[in-house]
Amino acid sequence: MPNSTLAAIFANHTQAERAVKRLADSRFDMTKLSIVGQGYHTEETVVGFYNTGDRIRFWGTRGAFWGGLWGLFFGGVFLMVPVMGQVMVLGYLATAVASAVEGALVMGGLSALGAALVSLGVPKDSVIQYETALKADEFLVLAHGSDEELAQARIVLAEANPVSIVAHGTAAVGAAG
Protein backbone atom coordinates (compact mmCIF):
# COMPACT_ATOMS: atom_id res chain seq x y z
CA MET A 1 0.00 0.00 0.00
CA PRO A 2 1.23 3.52 -0.72
CA ASN A 3 2.05 5.61 2.34
CA SER A 4 -0.20 8.59 1.62
CA THR A 5 -3.92 8.91 2.25
CA LEU A 6 -6.30 11.75 1.49
CA ALA A 7 -9.39 11.80 3.70
CA ALA A 8 -12.48 13.89 2.92
CA ILE A 9 -15.56 14.13 5.11
CA PHE A 10 -18.89 14.77 3.40
CA ALA A 11 -22.04 15.96 5.15
CA ASN A 12 -24.36 13.51 3.39
CA HIS A 13 -24.47 10.49 1.11
CA THR A 14 -25.41 12.55 -1.96
CA GLN A 15 -22.23 14.63 -1.74
CA ALA A 16 -20.10 11.56 -1.03
CA GLU A 17 -21.58 9.68 -3.99
CA ARG A 18 -21.01 12.67 -6.27
CA ALA A 19 -17.36 12.84 -5.13
CA VAL A 20 -16.79 9.12 -5.75
CA LYS A 21 -18.34 9.31 -9.22
CA ARG A 22 -16.24 12.37 -10.09
CA LEU A 23 -13.10 10.51 -9.04
CA ALA A 24 -14.14 7.55 -11.20
CA ASP A 25 -14.78 9.91 -14.13
CA SER A 26 -11.34 11.49 -13.64
CA ARG A 27 -9.85 7.99 -14.07
CA PHE A 28 -8.61 7.77 -10.48
CA ASP A 29 -7.61 4.16 -9.75
CA MET A 30 -10.74 2.86 -7.98
CA THR A 31 -8.73 0.12 -6.27
CA LYS A 32 -7.18 2.94 -4.20
CA LEU A 33 -10.47 4.50 -3.10
CA SER A 34 -12.76 3.79 -0.14
CA ILE A 35 -16.03 5.14 1.20
CA VAL A 36 -17.26 4.65 4.75
CA GLY A 37 -20.64 5.50 6.24
CA GLN A 38 -23.43 4.22 8.41
CA GLY A 39 -25.57 1.57 6.81
CA TYR A 40 -28.86 3.11 7.87
CA HIS A 41 -30.70 5.15 10.44
CA THR A 42 -32.64 3.34 13.13
CA GLU A 43 -35.84 2.22 11.50
CA GLU A 44 -38.53 -0.36 11.89
CA THR A 45 -37.98 -2.09 8.56
CA VAL A 46 -35.52 -4.87 7.80
CA VAL A 47 -32.05 -3.72 6.80
CA GLY A 48 -29.45 -6.02 5.32
CA PHE A 49 -27.53 -7.14 2.31
CA TYR A 50 -26.44 -10.19 0.43
CA ASN A 51 -23.82 -10.78 -2.19
CA THR A 52 -24.25 -12.83 -5.34
CA GLY A 53 -21.10 -13.02 -7.41
CA ASP A 54 -19.85 -9.50 -8.01
CA ARG A 55 -23.23 -7.93 -7.20
CA ILE A 56 -24.58 -6.78 -3.88
CA ARG A 57 -28.17 -6.31 -2.90
CA PHE A 58 -28.63 -3.90 -0.01
CA TRP A 59 -31.96 -2.78 1.34
CA GLY A 60 -33.07 -0.25 3.90
CA THR A 61 -33.07 3.54 3.89
CA ARG A 62 -29.80 3.74 1.93
CA GLY A 63 -30.14 0.61 -0.15
CA ALA A 64 -29.98 2.37 -3.51
CA PHE A 65 -26.96 4.41 -2.41
CA TRP A 66 -24.83 1.47 -1.20
CA GLY A 67 -26.03 -0.89 -3.93
CA GLY A 68 -25.24 1.70 -6.60
CA LEU A 69 -21.72 2.28 -5.33
CA TRP A 70 -20.87 -1.41 -4.84
CA GLY A 71 -20.17 -1.90 -8.55
CA LEU A 72 -17.50 0.83 -8.51
CA PHE A 73 -15.47 -0.82 -5.77
CA PHE A 74 -13.58 -4.06 -5.35
CA GLY A 75 -14.99 -5.48 -2.14
CA GLY A 76 -16.56 -4.26 1.04
CA VAL A 77 -17.62 -5.10 4.57
CA PHE A 78 -20.71 -4.41 6.64
CA LEU A 79 -20.12 -4.54 10.37
CA MET A 80 -21.43 -3.48 13.75
CA VAL A 81 -19.14 -0.99 15.45
CA PRO A 82 -19.88 -0.39 19.14
CA VAL A 83 -21.43 3.03 19.79
CA MET A 84 -21.35 3.87 16.06
CA GLY A 85 -23.77 1.18 14.91
CA GLN A 86 -23.83 -0.47 11.52
CA VAL A 87 -21.08 0.71 9.20
CA MET A 88 -20.45 -0.07 5.53
CA VAL A 89 -16.88 0.11 4.18
CA LEU A 90 -16.29 -0.19 0.44
CA GLY A 91 -12.90 -0.25 -1.26
CA TYR A 92 -9.30 -0.83 -0.22
CA LEU A 93 -10.01 -0.05 3.46
CA ALA A 94 -12.38 -3.06 3.67
CA THR A 95 -9.44 -5.47 3.62
CA ALA A 96 -7.69 -3.61 6.45
CA VAL A 97 -10.91 -3.57 8.51
CA ALA A 98 -11.45 -7.28 7.94
CA SER A 99 -7.86 -7.99 8.99
CA ALA A 100 -8.31 -5.90 12.15
CA VAL A 101 -11.50 -7.79 13.02
CA GLU A 102 -10.08 -11.24 12.22
CA GLY A 103 -6.87 -10.57 14.14
CA ALA A 104 -8.77 -9.07 17.08
CA LEU A 105 -6.52 -6.05 16.64
CA VAL A 106 -6.92 -3.67 19.57
CA MET A 107 -5.23 -0.28 19.47
CA GLY A 108 -5.76 1.94 22.44
CA GLY A 109 -9.52 1.53 22.60
CA LEU A 110 -10.06 2.18 18.89
CA SER A 111 -12.73 0.32 16.93
CA ALA A 112 -11.74 -2.13 14.18
CA LEU A 113 -12.31 0.71 11.71
CA GLY A 114 -10.06 3.01 13.75
CA ALA A 115 -7.37 0.35 14.04
CA ALA A 116 -7.48 -0.19 10.28
CA LEU A 117 -7.06 3.54 9.65
CA VAL A 118 -4.11 3.74 12.07
CA SER A 119 -2.50 0.74 10.34
CA LEU A 120 -2.63 2.76 7.10
CA GLY A 121 -0.82 5.71 8.68
CA VAL A 122 -3.73 7.89 9.80
CA PRO A 123 -2.92 9.50 13.18
CA LYS A 124 -5.11 8.53 16.16
CA ASP A 125 -6.41 12.09 16.64
CA SER A 126 -7.63 12.11 13.03
CA VAL A 127 -9.17 8.64 13.48
CA ILE A 128 -11.19 10.01 16.41
CA GLN A 129 -12.34 12.92 14.22
CA TYR A 130 -13.39 10.52 11.44
CA GLU A 131 -15.23 8.19 13.81
CA THR A 132 -17.03 11.22 15.31
CA ALA A 133 -18.05 12.32 11.80
CA LEU A 134 -19.39 8.83 11.05
CA LYS A 135 -21.39 8.84 14.30
CA ALA A 136 -22.88 12.16 13.15
CA ASP A 137 -24.00 10.39 9.95
CA GLU A 138 -21.38 11.97 7.73
CA PHE A 139 -19.40 10.02 5.13
CA LEU A 140 -15.69 9.47 4.73
CA VAL A 141 -14.07 9.18 1.29
CA LEU A 142 -10.45 8.00 1.34
CA ALA A 143 -7.99 8.04 -1.54
CA HIS A 144 -4.70 6.19 -1.25
CA GLY A 145 -1.75 6.61 -3.56
CA SER A 146 1.31 8.55 -4.59
CA ASP A 147 1.59 12.24 -3.86
CA GLU A 148 0.87 12.97 -7.53
CA GLU A 149 -2.28 10.82 -7.54
CA LEU A 150 -3.49 12.46 -4.35
CA ALA A 151 -2.84 15.97 -5.66
CA GLN A 152 -5.27 15.19 -8.51
CA ALA A 153 -7.74 13.53 -6.12
CA ARG A 154 -7.63 16.60 -3.85
CA ILE A 155 -8.72 18.83 -6.75
CA VAL A 156 -11.62 16.53 -7.63
CA LEU A 157 -12.73 16.04 -4.01
CA ALA A 158 -12.49 19.76 -3.24
CA GLU A 159 -14.92 20.47 -6.10
CA ALA A 160 -17.49 18.26 -4.32
CA ASN A 161 -17.51 20.61 -1.27
CA PRO A 162 -16.34 18.37 1.58
CA VAL A 163 -16.70 19.41 5.21
CA SER A 164 -12.94 18.84 5.45
CA ILE A 165 -10.14 17.34 3.43
CA VAL A 166 -6.85 16.27 5.02
CA ALA A 167 -3.75 14.52 3.68
CA HIS A 168 -1.87 11.97 5.80
CA GLY A 169 1.59 10.60 5.09
CA THR A 170 4.01 12.19 2.67
CA ALA A 171 1.13 13.93 0.85
CA ALA A 172 0.50 15.90 4.06
CA VAL A 173 3.77 17.80 3.62
CA GLY A 174 2.80 21.23 2.32
CA ALA A 175 -0.90 20.30 1.95
CA ALA A 176 -3.55 22.60 3.38
CA GLY A 177 -6.52 21.03 5.17
Task: Check residues 11 and 77 and name the one with the higher pLDDT.
Answer: 11
Confirm whether 13 is domain-assigned: yes
pLDDT tens profile 139-166? 999 999 998 999 999 999 999 999 999 9
- Tell me what the mean pLDDT of segment 105-119 comes to: 71
Task: Give residue 125's domain range.
Answer: 4-172
- Tell me what the mean pLDDT of segment 7-21 comes to: 93
Confirm whether 177 is domain-assigned: no
Q: Which pLDDT does position 117 carry in this prediction?
A: 85
Q: Is the pLDDT of residue 6 over 60?
A: yes
pLDDT tens profile 43-52? 444 444 444 4
Confidence of residue 120 (pLDDT cuts 50, 70, 90): confident
Confirm whether 41 is domain-assigned: yes
Closest residue by Cα to residue 36 from 107, 105, 103, 120: 120
- Tell me what the mean pLDDT of segment 98-127 comes to: 73
Confirm whether 144 is domain-assigned: yes
Closest residue by Cα to residue 6 from 33, 25, 26, 31: 33
Q: Which pLDDT does position 140 carry in this prediction?
A: 94
Q: Is the pLDDT of residue 115 over 90?
A: no
- Tell me what the mean pLDDT of segment 17-21 comes to: 91
Distance CA 116, CA 122 (A): 9
Residues in a beta bridge with 56: 51
- Please list, in sequence order, all residues whose beta carbon lies within 8 angstroms of the beta carbon of residue 147, skipping any fewer than 6 positions away: 4, 170, 171
Q: Which pLDDT does position 82 carry in this prediction?
A: 63
Confidence of residue 61 (pLDDT cuts 50, 70, 90): low
Tally of structural domains, the chain: 1
Q: Is the pLDDT of residue 111 over 70?
A: yes
